[in-house]
A and B are shown apart, each in its own frame.
Chain A
Amino acid sequence: MQDDDSVETDIPMTIEDNYLTKLESLFEVPVYDVSQVEKERLLVEVLATLHQHHVENCESYQRLASTWKTDNIQLSDIPFVAVRLFKLLALKSVPESKVLKCLTSSGTSGQVPAKIFLDAITSRWQSKVLVRILQQFLGKQRLPMLIIDSPGNHQSGSRVNARFAGIQGLAMFGRDHTYALNNDMTVDWEAVEAFCRKYENDNVLVFGFTFMVWHYFIAAIKSANRTVRLPNAHLFHSGGWKKLQSQSVDNHTFKAGVLNLTGIPKVTNFYGMAEQVGTVFMECEHGFLHAPSTADVVFRDCYDFSELNVGQTGLIQVLSALPYSYPGFSILTEDLGTLHGVDDCQCGRKGKYFTVESRLPKVELRGCSDTAAAAS
């Protein structure tokens, strides 16, 4: 936000100012230490303001959701947009002149990529919030970082591939960024071995998309009969299990394989998507994904979209306080998940905790790691 001339102090607060004020208050709240009731109260205020902004500034959204009443509402009352609309329509709520970049989801040939338009406000808050969430797991320091991906060019002009955006988000926590894969997705053994030698006794950060870590790194180490030792590393991975589920690799098998072949003792999965960059749902030490203060999830029946209770499995609706430049603050995904509880996870984090089961059958492949699998 720019500092405005003093003559503007008499005019009423704009929606943008109103939104940013509420978002700042929400940002002050501890990431995982506020009860669901209190968090919903603050989050709903931000989301209702976003709704108003998108109704006024995005014609398609206005047609979809303008009849919704914003008085006296709960989180689950907030209207949602189906995730595939971002593939079908160019949805944005700021003038073209304010768009800094367009994030395109990882569609393979034959799949239509989603287009997410980002302005300075949204892209800045995406970084701020992502850093705040990851700091809960990594502290503020940056660590030597091994990226299980190829250094290939993922950006052309203002269009940025979601896979690259994901790497870039995590890269803020790294230094001496080292790519573990060549552009043909084979392991760059020289780079990996040099990295392991150099940081033998240091804490390091490893990041990759779930399928790529397993298929192009762990399986490659095994079949090449090589040794990779990263005993002080913390691996973060995200991007979809679908391809691994068909190979019967679940979270437990994944962690055991990673430990066995690389010695990496700490592995953290997270759930997030190109349509809501910044608000990620991190896995805790008990294997559950947690909603941070700036985002939430609602589970819905696949047939009538009614809200489900603890213990039930259904479609995941994701809500995030960040999407200002495009109407993606409340999205109905095509992922199936289970709500396991509220405010009472054994890890001590407050709010909702859940697991992601799978995608709906006959849904196109999405997720950075799954589309890489389809392309290979």
Chain B
Amino acid sequence: MSNQEKLVQAFSDALGIAQDLVQDTLEYNTIKEWDSTAHMVLISELETVFDVMLDTDDIIDMSSVAKAKSILGKYDVTF
């Protein structure tokens, strides 16, 4: 599975949304499924899937799917 596919799967599983909703433009708090509770589930899912340890700045900065990609990029996960 490519990193892009893994990312879409992780968002879809963590937020409980259809895979086609996981677009770069999808933003935190703009759909009810991506609220602060689901956000922590998402963080944990991304850490497991990509085997990274995100810090508190990453949690705050991860405000969209596109942003998630750039943050994961800091940990050498390329898209």
Contact = CB atoms under 8 A, between A and B. Distances in A.
B20 interface: no
B40 A171 contact: yes
Contacts of B57: 131, 140
A175 B35 CA distance: 18
A100 B60 contact: no
B76 interface: no
A221 interface: no
A18 interface: no
B59 A123 contact: no
Contacts of A123: 29, 36
Given A142-B54, A142-B55, A128 B35 contact: no
A141 interface: yes
A155 B59 CA distance: 21
B40 A172 contact: yes
A147 B60 CA distance: 21
B56 interface: yes
A101 interface: yes
A183 interface: no
A131 B29 contact: no
B32 to A, nearest CB: 8
Given A123-B29, A172-B40, A175-B44, A140 B56 contact: yes
B56 A100 contact: no
Contacts of B55: 140-142
B29 A172 contact: no
B72 to A, nearest CB: 16
Interface in B13-48: 28-30, 32, 35-37, 40, 44, 47
Contacts, number: 43
B77 interface: no
Contact of A173 (B28, B29, B56, B63): B56
Given A120-B29, A124-B29, A142-B54, A100 B59 contact: no
Contacts of A120: 29-30
Contacts of B53: 141-142, 175
Contacts of A155: 37
A158 B29 CA distance: 12
Interface range on chain A (Cβ under 8 Å from partner): 20 to 34
Contacts of B63: 124
A171 B47 CA distance: 15
A355 interface: no
Interface in A160-206: 168, 171-173, 175
A20 to B, nearest CB: 14
B60 A128 contact: yes
Contact of B59 (A101, A131, A158): A131
A100 B37 contact: no
A135 interface: yes
Given A142-B54, A175-B44, A168 B59 contact: no
Contacts of B30: 120
A209 to B, nearest CB: 19
A171 B38 CA distance: 12
Contacts of A168: 36-37, 40
A57 interface: no
Contacts of A142: 53-56
Contacts of B35: 100-101
Interface centre among B37, B44, B63, by most chain A C-beta atoms within 10 angstroms, is B37
A184 to B, nearest CB: 23
A155 B41 CA distance: 15
A76 interface: no
A131 B37 contact: no
A124 B63 CA distance: 9
Nearest to A134: B56
A127 B36 contact: yes
Contacts of B60: 127-128, 131, 172
Given A131-B57, A131-B59, A142-B55, A100 B40 contact: no
Q: Which 6 A-B pairs have the closest CB atoms?
A: A140-B55, A120-B29, A131-B56, A140-B56, A172-B59, A131-B60
12 contacts: A100-B35, A101-B35, A120-B29, A120-B30, A123-B36, A127-B60, A131-B57, A131-B60, A142-B53, A142-B55, A175-B47, A175-B53
